[in-house]
Amino acid sequence: MLKINEHYLKLQASYLFSDIAKRVAAFQHAHPDKNIIRLGIGDVTKALPPACIAAFHRAVDEMAVDSSFRGYGPEQGYAFLREAIAQHDFQARGAEISADEIFISDGAKCDTGNIQELFSSEARVAIPDPVYPVYLDTNVMAGRTGAFADGRYQGLVYLDSTAENNYVPKLPNEPVDLIYLCFPNNPTGSTISKAELKTWVDYAKANKALILFDAAYEAFIRDESLPHSIYEIEGAREVAIEFRSYSKSAGFTGTRCAYTVIPKECAAYDSAGNKQFIHPLWNRRHCTKFNGVSYPVQRAAEAVYSDEGKAQCKALISGYLENADLIAAAVKELSFDYIGAANAPYVWIRCKRDSWEFFDMLLNKAGVVCTPGAGFGKCGQGYIRLSAFNSRENVVKALERIRQALA
């Protein structure tokens, strides 16, 4: 008799987006003429930069001719892309990362979800609350938690991100081995300073722990004092893995390209206490389970680093950040506390009532869809997230309706 992995049975069904969809559908059915504006999505809405499209087309044409056709590429990604990343995303910022420490993949979701399989099932895991659910659910699947009770999985260390700590969690007061951090943050849009990030790096070094740093939103940083990469922090090469993605920075959510950085010094330990480097283990996993990102997609990603590509991505991000500024200004004018917008495409709003109650109010009175904060964790209760991923026109219209609904 085949038995299943019973850890999967512990998973809480994620009702968040299906609940939202149901409520929106019911509202639309009752008000067929009402035009609903969605500020709830975490997906980009603008077309790929023209430089990426041109490179994508050229690469597709190469695939049409035997002499330039390419079959399987290197599992870790083509050197042209890995070298461009090392140079532009790291060395240019004073972070010592080399091309062979970069693994190209089809998404930061898969990478942040898969990385945990390199570590012991006994690893003590620290996860922020509120959180991008991938970190949490993949550790539940792997059996690193107990049952779900009272809004949380037993056996995990939750890192509360609240108004009290300005949405940057404090160091845990019990020992942990594996630490997930995401800055600029989804869902809160909060950021971490170099000094705060240094306390985490120092903690990891002192405790032989490892930081998994999700920097999917680094391109939205406007405050030049903030770290774009954890490797801008001294000592991070030994204790941190970083995840990046072209999804939000260049509009690749439907095109699929991302990468993971594993410095050669980065290590964990075997049961005899011997240091084991992570780079060769991840390389082994990657080559065993993955056959590389498609050649045209890697060429499209490479074009992000051309002069035109850089300017076009910057314009794309500025457009979303200007939306975020408009949302923040409106929220402030309506006397709500909020965080985000400054260096992220999200605004995290303290709604002074239940998350879902506020969601229903915005939907029914303004025809605007937000994301209830409670869907991201216990600490998200009493908050909603508004996303800047929409057209200027829709954002302006939505904010006007919200002002009227709350007047």
Ligand X SMILES: *Cc1c(COP(=O)(O)O)cnc(C)c1O
Interaction site with ligand X (CB under 6 A): 42, 107-109, 132, 182, 186, 214, 216, 245, 247-248, 253, 258
Q: Which is nearer to ligand X, 186 or 294 (CB)?
A: 186
CB 310 within 8 A of CB 294: no
Q: Which is nearer to ligand X, 367 or 380 (CB)?
A: 380
**Of 315, 263, 296, residue with least CA distance to 96:** 263
Three-state SS string over the chain comes to CCCCCHHHHHCCCCCHHHHHHHHHHHHHHHCCCCCCEECCCCCCCCCCCHHHHHHHHHHHHHHCCCCCCCCCCCCCCCHHHHHHHHHHHHHHHCCCCCHHHEEEECCHHHHHHHHHHHCCCCCCEEEEECCCHHHHHHHHHCCCCCCEECCEECCCEEEECCHHHCCCCCCCCCCCCEEEEECCCCCCCCCCCHHHHHHHHHHHHHHCCEEEEECCCHHHCCCCCCCCCHHHCCCHHHHEEEEEEHHHHCCCCCCCCEEEECCCCCEEECCCCCEEEHHHHHHHHHHHHCCCCCHHHHHHHHHHHCHHHHHHHHHHHHHHHHHHHHHHHHHHHCCCCEEECCCCCEEEEECCCCHHHHHHHHHHHHCEECEEHHHHCHHHCCEEEEECCCCHHHHHHHHHHHHHHHC
The minimum distance between CB 248 and ligand X, in angstroms, equals 6
Residue of minimal CB distance from ligand X?
Answer: 107
The minimum distance between CB 21 and ligand X, in angstroms, equals 19
Q: Which is nearer to ligand X, 114 or 366 (CB)?
A: 114
The minimum distance between CB 274 and ligand X, in angstroms, equals 32
The minimum distance between CB 385 and ligand X, in angstroms, equals 11
The minimum distance between CB 205 and ligand X, in angstroms, equals 25
The minimum distance between CB 3 and ligand X, in angstroms, equals 31
Q: Which is nearer to ligand X, 191 or 367 (CB)?
A: 191
The minimum distance between CB 364 and ligand X, in angstroms, equals 28
Q: Which is nearer to ligand X, 39 or 402 (CB)?
A: 39
The minimum distance between CB 243 and ligand X, in angstroms, equals 7
Q: Which is nearer to ligand X, 109 or 286 (CB)?
A: 109
Residue 11's Cβ-count burial label (10 Å; 0-12, 13-18, 19+) is middle
Q: Which is nearer to ligand X, 176 or 216 (CB)?
A: 216
The minimum distance between CB 134 and ligand X, in angstroms, equals 7
Q: Which is nearer to ligand X, 312 or 371 (CB)?
A: 371
- Token output for 182: 């995401």
